[in-house]
Chain A
Amino acid sequence: MKKEFKVISELILQNSKVLDVGCGDGELMKFLKDNKTSKIRGLEISKNKVQNCLSKGLTVIEGNAENDLQQFPNNSFDFVILSQTLQAFLDPEKVISELLRVGKKAIVTIPNFGYWKVRLNLLIKGTMPVTENLPNEWYNTPNLHMCTIRDFFNFCSKREIKIFKSLALKNDKTLNLSSKNLAWRNLESQLGIFLIEK
């Protein structure tokens, strides 16, 4: 299993109610169901992936986070997870506010555009960066709103979103992340993981 999922699952309390937004094939859901909580739901846009999840006995709804989160009542989950998809939405700001309405807490992970390889790519080659984490070209990438770890920090403080806990992943190593080491972490890590609360 991906290191990212292990880190996410460590943030989740036993027996809490969880919604995995963009749950894909249900890998994280299955792990959480077996180890943390049976009260887990998923939302996924791809029909095939939803069918896979349902076949595995996972409770998943076909839908799009931008339109279909609105059906869930306020605070209906303890945790809402959004793994590496924030940048793909037309309106990431709206999605974040929906996550924080539906969930008491949200776990958001972002591929870091401030990672040194990304910066170097643009600086040296003068082309839009293509890396292991961001494998697409500018013309076929699903990522509309890339941001850096620092951008997300700034966004949270502007919108008065509390960052409960923040971590960074550097080559599968978990690092603590705070305003003190932000400049460095923003350069060396591929992924930012944020536990946030309104």
Chain B
Amino acid sequence: MSVSAPILRRRANQAALYLSVCTLVLIMLIPIGWMLSTSFKPLRDVFQTPPQWIPDEITFKNYVAQFNEVLGTLMLNSMIVAVGAAVLATFVGAMTAYGISRFRFKGGALLMLFFMGSLAFPVPLLMISLYSLFVKLGLLNTYAALILGHTAVTIPVSIWLLKNFFDQLPREVEEAAYVDGASPLKVFLFVVLPMARPALAASAIFVFVVSWNELLFGLTFTSTTDMRPLPAGITLVFLQEFEGAWSEMMALAVMVSIPVLILFFFFQKTFLRGVTAGAVKG
């Protein structure tokens, strides 16, 4: 059978489509690719012209150089703070979201509006009062200050994500448990929370990523290197000592990205489902 002109045209369109998608995606990934490429080069190969995408010589030295006590401490600090904030914001967020979703009361919508609106509160303005508050409570230079700060700025999104999930969750299961004699608290803890695992994961990942990223609280509410989280520590230690060793710098950048990239690699589907379900609904 000969191929007709419209079919040829359609195939050409398809090819153009794939080509443009691939091009766009590749352009998006160039910075990450270049970061990886540079991180595996010996320093002398970094300054080649024209630039080499595949290194002539692959070395892991730049990574080995990062295994030092300072980066280890910063990583550990960030991990503790991010996990703490993720757990706190997600659990408290789930309680609030469930309350707004299942209790009929005036002001529920208003409360939601306030939570979402608080995302626009200027963080430096909040920090002024938080600083004085943490000084009074003796929380400066503790994990608690960072966990609380990160929880506060992420909890609105956590509530929003989880409320959308609960709104879409059919109530029959809960009503059955309620009729069977479980108290509302038990229904929440033993029926709702287990069903909400995907949404809880989405919220926790979101909080973790934001916390891992956060610079200002880290700079301001900690004062010693052994308490600093990654972004603040890198700014104050590594960047101060930087003298053009770009390959090592890129290895550092890769290592800082790895925890969140791994987290995302495994939970991407869960996370996207959580975020888009809420977003599209409104």
| Chains A and B are bound partners | no
